[in-house]
Structure 1
């Protein structure tokens, strides 16, 4: 084996410019493929991928008949009335867990004004929110269900770092809207590459805090983001966003996002049960003069939303297809360079044959040489892809006018190690397969034809 490695290494050193050209040629194709592939792959992931097939976004379509959903991401959120109905229906159902939330914003401060206040986008949510979305905690824990109306708050790690220097803040007080809330937990959702919980799938900001849904309603925390209303309620929408919570509860305006987690052991039965309830409820509401749209409800799986999010990356998908095309061209170029290189050393191969080396031995030398060349190209491609992702990260920050959360964006444009390893294996196989033809041709070289004269 040692002799084979030495001969393969000598083969690489012969015609060094051609060898270097092959490595650079392949590395360029690998770099583009890994860079764009990583971005698209990460964009289609959520932090709860392992249960994405069990989680459904629940939408009951109260909108006018002419309402155009356009995409699954524009499914109407639940009105307060419909959210109460679906919550009551599945409150005691162990097979279907439901969580409700809406997006809000406020200024976080400390009672003693000792730090600079933090403007935060946050979620107002129920107690099931944390378990259903698998929110990881650093300190403390979520509030209990009976604390739904209490003045408590869960901070994200970023907010905790800004307000408390990263220390354990459980039991301490923060101030929002001139009211004090007790910190019961500190979460770290930096792994949430996209803010999917409010169906925006935004990749540049995330929740900096979560407050109880009951407290948010009682203290009129504003409702921001997508909030569609029926035609007769349009004029009051601005008022419903900032004030008049009681009016909002009776209005035909959707602002609550409902997520249902189904029992994994009875997934089909649970889905059928949820669908049956949505159909019956829609029929009941239609008989009362509501739900006049042709599609009265939508139950959308999180896996499907992730896939559609990847499909919606229009330019990224184009660049990825271009990267595959370029990599294919690089493989074809590699075959041509290998043919040229093998042609130039035909006499050396013939000499090996004349000295007693059989075809299999020659084949082993060249396969080992190709393996070494492929490995060098893949390693160089991985290094260049890392630099490419860093460049894309800075470009994304620039496009966001540096207002985005840098850590959030950095994770979006960081190397996905499992994907990179899978891609490296696939690329190695592709290069190896493409190089077989010139190697097989070289191993069949007739000694007499090359050594004559």
Structure 2
């Protein structure tokens, strides 16, 4: 029976090619615009580590008092060096790591390779297992190597390909910032979006994954710093040592807490620590600490850009306008066939059969419109850089999920638009139509 309805739909669409083309264009353009912006929005607003994000928490401490709060009353989204070390020393989380970005020069030993500046991070050994970083070779470093400020590194796959030809480089030596480091691990391709462990002073997105990780203690000893800081007042001493002793914030912190009891205990610990620092004269004002899990922290930081949201809403509005036009076109098309409907009803066809026939026809229109939408989505993804900033446009990817979603959305939206016209068509009284004929 379904094949019969498909045949009827095809015949009907061929009888009125102009009207059919208008409906296909409306569906195709609406779906194409919506899915193009959705391809960016889904990447920008997705959970970068959904299987674990509810167990990863970001502590924020009110170090500067009310004068240093953001416009929405938030404390700084990073920690000072003194506070980060205190949280690491007290170790109240299951796993934890202080984190800050570095940009050292790397000097490959392969012939013909030139030195280059790469992006990376200073972290503690817990970081890799805490964020489930995928290793291609080797593993992270140990707690003992953290304490000893060992000269070890974990490198990314791209750097491993460039420096070691893609071979297992564990145990090899790499010159980083003028010093030899032993490679203990090589990460597979890994660049979560947003970069949830580093949103301080950034927009939360990165085109390339990190190239090098080294122990936090080693990076501090080597005076490696990226310059991303926020201060309520200038350090009293010059240089990197002065920054470490100041109230400037520049270190992000990630803590793994697996149970509600652990979360509650860590929150109490933060409050007690802040109270102790206020008594010592370091912290100012009333308590205003935060401890949010990763999704809540990214939401509070407004990591999803406003222009992405606006573009998606505009495209969604265009889709709605296109569907409203499709409703009118379908209504005109279906009611023009009142005589045909009256004959079918007089011959015994139930209203359910009328619904099946016309909804099938709408589904065919949606499928053809979806095919057009696929082509327009592909073109839109390639050209979206003209509308959105390049860093956001780079997030748009064409994959099977996007293709399937585009077709599904086109068919479902068209059938939804057809509900009212089909209802009107099914209400046609056969006696009236036969009498008028």
1:269-308 equivalent positions in 2, closer than 5 A:
269-308=261-300
Counterpart mapping for 1:37-76 below 5 A: 37-63=38-64, 65-70=66-71, 75-76=76-77
Tell me, what secondary structure is at the counterpart of 2:54? coil
| Partner in structure 2 of residue 124 of structure 1 | 122
5+ residue gaps, structure 2, are none
Q: How does 1:139-218 map to 2 (within 5 A)?
A: 139-148=137-146, 149-199=149-199, 200=202, 201-218=204-221
Distance 1:419 1:73, change over 3 A: farther
Report whether the alignment pairs 1:219 with 2:222.
yes
Alpha-carbon deviation of 1:187? 1.1
Are positions 1:250 and 2:245 aligned together? yes
Out of 422-431 and 317-326, give the one that drifted further.
422-431
Q: What does residue range 49-448 of structure 1 map to in structure 2 within 5 Å?
A: 49-63=50-64, 65-70=66-71, 75-90=76-91, 96-111=94-109, 114-148=112-146, 149-199=149-199, 200=202, 201-225=204-228, 227-233=229-235, 236=238, 239-240=239-240, 244=241, 247-263=242-258, 266=259, 268-308=260-300, 312-392=304-384, 410=394, 412-415=395-398, 425=408, 428-448=411-431
* 1:419 shift after superposition: 6.9
Partners of 1:442 and 1:375 lie apart in 2 by 22
Deviation at 1:273, TM superposition (A): 0.6
Tell me the TM-score normalised to structure 1 length: 0.85
Cα deviations by residue, 1:15-46 (Å, 9 ceiling, x for unpaired): 12211211110111111211222212211224
Residue deviations 1:356-410, cap 9 Å, x none?
Answer: 43433233211211122222323432342232122225776xx55xxx7xxx964
In 1, Cα distance between the equivalents of 2:362 and 2:378?
Answer: 24
Change (3 A) 1:235 1:73: farther
Alpha-carbon separation, structure 2, partners of 1:143 and 1:409: 36
Change (3 A) 1:376 1:127: same
SS at match of 1:196: coil
How far apart are 1:260 and its partner, in Å? 0.8
Tell me the C-alpha RMSD between the 2 structures. Answer: 2.8
Partner of 1:194, secondary structure, is coil
Task: After TM superposition, give the deviation of residue 71 of structure 1 in Å.
Answer: 6.3
Q: 1:36 to 1:438 in 2, by over 3 A?
A: same
Contact 1:42 1:416 in 2 (8 A): no
Which structure 1 residue ranges, 5 or more long, are not aligned? none
Instruction: State the alpha-carbon separation in 2 of the partners of residues 132 and 415 from structure 1.
Output: 30
How many equivalent pairs are there? 430
Residue aligned with 2:307, SS: helix
Structure 1 residues 62-82: Cα deviation after superposition (integer angstroms, max 9, x where no partner)? 225521334699725222322
**Is 1:23 aligned with 2:24?**
yes
Q: Report the Cα distance in structure 1 between the residues aligned to 2:47 and 2:73, rounded to whole angstroms.
A: 16
Please say which of residues 119-128 and 417-426 is displaced more in the overlay. Answer: 417-426
Q: Which moved more, 1:165-174 or 1:425-434?
A: 425-434
Greater mean deviation of Cα atoms: 303-312 or 362-371: 303-312
SS of the residue 2:197 aligns to:
helix
Contact 1:138 1:186 in 2 (8 A): yes
Could you say what secondary structure the match of 2:79 adopts?
coil
TM-score normalised by the chain length of structure 2: 0.88
Counterparts of 1:269 and 1:204 in 2: how far apart (Å)? 38
Moved more, 250-259 or 13-22: 250-259
3-state DSSP class of the match of 2:418?
A: helix
Deviation of 1:139 after TM superposition, in Å, equals 1.8
2:33 is aligned to: 32
